[in-house]
Structure 1
Amino acid sequence: MPTGVHLRDARQQLFDAAERVLLRDGPNGLTSRAVTDEAGCAKGVLLTSALATLFGPIPVAIIPLITFRDELRARLRQARSGGGIAILAEAATAVSAYLAAERELGRIAVDADIDSLTLSLVGGGHLLFADRDPGPPDLAAVNKLVTAVIADAVQRRPS
């Protein structure tokens, strides 16, 4: 799909495509590439959808509560490793694993700095969603971030 074309309900489009791939090719055929190819959209759309879900209303509302309440951070540190910031750490782990898998499949350059890409996506995504006035960013803004962050790593991949 050409850059700049708006996808109508990208999340539903991806789920529908995943269902078709699963029914046609079985569980082993269900890859991120197969889903985006079936949906007729760029790989960045899948990562865009993931960031939009990751920074939905509840996680974005929880992060400031954790940041500004010392007693809550202390309780969270006791309850789980990583404490309150574990929410962002778990997000970074998930994004990093996704990018590493894409690199292993040859869709991202072998020398891509996964750690820096992850920090850029999670940090940039959080900043986009943290300012919710007048509401969360539209998917076009999130896709613009994802595309800019991963553009070099995708263009330099081996053919």
Structure 2
Amino acid sequence: MSPRGVAMPDVRERLFAAAERVLERDGPGALTSRAITTEAGCAKGMLHARFAGLDEFVAELCLDRFARTARLAEELPGLAGSGTVTANLTGVASALFDSGGPVIAGLAMTRPAAALRIRQELEGGAPGFTAVQEAIARYLDAERRLGRIAEGTDTTAVALALVGAVHHLLMTGWPGAPDPREQVDRLVAMLVSGATGAVRGSAPAGE
């Protein structure tokens, strides 16, 4: 706990990280303001000094993690022509799981007020799954221009299929469930195989 009068660096992120640990260890039912601040090692009133309540905190946590993943996805188009298409798509899918895992994604579903706030923010343009989908489509467009995937590939549909599958797995998963990455790996392999099948000699680039 910080001494009185001494500023605690990055309190917001410290509280977010503490909440994630509580969720991973004890599940959504254990997430209380006191549990979060105790886990963070800060004063009990710290959370309510920065957020209107636990619902706002949960909404901000989810939106922050969605935005963080969207920022990572924005880097994807710059990878066109490097590595493999499979590895690049798998990497962004893994980022979705790492920063918005089943516990975080499912948390808001237990708190209707937080879920409503998240939906409103996303509809208002806050970065989320739509931003990730658009970044994947731009990346695939770049790969198509480079000839690493077929000219006729519907990049928007491929991006939607990947992000939609990840979203489904996030929203229907639960703590302790089998790791969904294996399913996503198979999906990415199938999508890339379809996109590179018509490109002569493209198998090494996409697999």
CA distance in 2, matches of 1:73, 1:47: 28
Measure how far apart 1:121 and its partner are. 0.8
Q: 2:196 aligns with which of 149, 154, 158?
A: 154
Flag structure 2 segments of 5+ consecutive residues without an equivalent. Answer: 1-77, 202-207
Checking the alignment, whether the CA contact within 8 Å between 1:66 and 1:84 is kept in structure 2 is no
Judge conservation of contact 1:76–1:84 (CA < 8 Å) in 2.
Answer: no
Residues 1:95 and 2:136 aligned together:
yes
- Check whether the contact 1:48–1:142 (CA below 8 A) recurs between aligned residues: yes
- Tell me, yes or no, if the aligned pair for 1:82 and 1:89 is still in contact at 8 Å: no
Q: Distance in 2 between matches of 1:119 and 1:95?
A: 9
TM-score by length of 2: 0.48
> What is the aligned partner in structure 1 of residue 81 from structure 2?
33
Give the alignment of 1:1-159 within 5 angstroms: 31-34=79-82, 36=83, 42-56=84-98, 58-67=100-109, 69-78=111-120, 80-82=121-123, 86-129=127-170, 130-132=172-174, 133-138=176-181, 140-157=182-199
Query: Which ranges in structure 1 are unaligned for 5 or more consecutive residues?
Result: 1-29, 37-41
Please give the root-mean-square deviation of Cα atoms over the aligned residues, in Å. 3.1
- Sequence identity (%): 29
Question: How far apart are the structure 1 equivalents of 2:115 and 2:191?
Answer: 31
CA apart distance, 1:59:
4.7
Q: How many residues align?
A: 122
CA contact (8 A) 1:112 1:153 kept: yes
Letter in 1 for 2:159: T
Residue 147 (structure 1) shift: 0.8
Q: Is the CA contact (8 Å cut-off) linking 2:150 and 2:199 kept in structure 1?
A: yes
Deviations 1:96-118 (A, max 9, x none): 12112211222111211112111
Look up the SS of the partner of 2:91 in the other structure.
helix
Give the TM-score normalised by the residue count of structure 1.
0.59
